[in-house]
Amino acid sequence: MAKSGYASKIDQSVFIEMHRGVDTSQAIEALQSLSAGQCAGIISDAGLPCVADPGSVVVELAQQMGIRVVPLPGPSSIMMALMASGMNGQQFAFHGYLSRETHDRRKSLQKLQMEVAKTGITQIFMETPYRNEAMLKDILSVCQSEIRLCIAMDISGPYEYIRSQSIAEWKKHLPKFYKNPAIFVMGR
């Protein structure tokens, strides 16, 4: 971490574990030690803290309290999926998780594919492992055959799978998700 610009000793730092549903009172409690000058870190197991991750509550409060926030580089499944997709990395939009509701999710997918076709802007979104198959089913039923889709699963993990191809090609052979986390990248 020292090479990344983190000057404090790791054994003298506080690390804040953030889970979905963290509330403001928990974040304030976690930040109180920082007011005394102690260093802290937010660590995410699936990407960058605050990017599709609950750490943003703590960072927002730290900013409001005048506490210095220093981002350190690290792996991001979102950026790694884009890098491996071969799609437009100059212009892209990240949408986080789409709706759980099939109807709303399909409407969102239609809008995303229209944006890709119209502007060429790459669209990135993710899904929880247990809904990946439903997401892919909806993508294949809604999107035009020439739209390209990258599925990046378990990035840097033991079951890593990254493949980009047209919707028409995906319809010929579906991947097995095995309940792995996945990022979906849509482009041309």
Give the span between the Cα atoms of 63 and 58, in whole angstroms: 9
The string of pLDDT tens digits covering residues 55-111 is 777 788 888 888 888 887 777 899 999 999 999 999 999 999 999 999 999 999 999
SS3 94: strand
What's the CA gap between 52 and 69, in Å, rounded? Answer: 18
Domain 77-187, CATH homologous superfamily name and number: Tetrapyrrole methylase, C-terminal domain (3.30.950.10)
pTM equals 0.81
Residues of the chain with CATH 3.30.950.10: 77-187
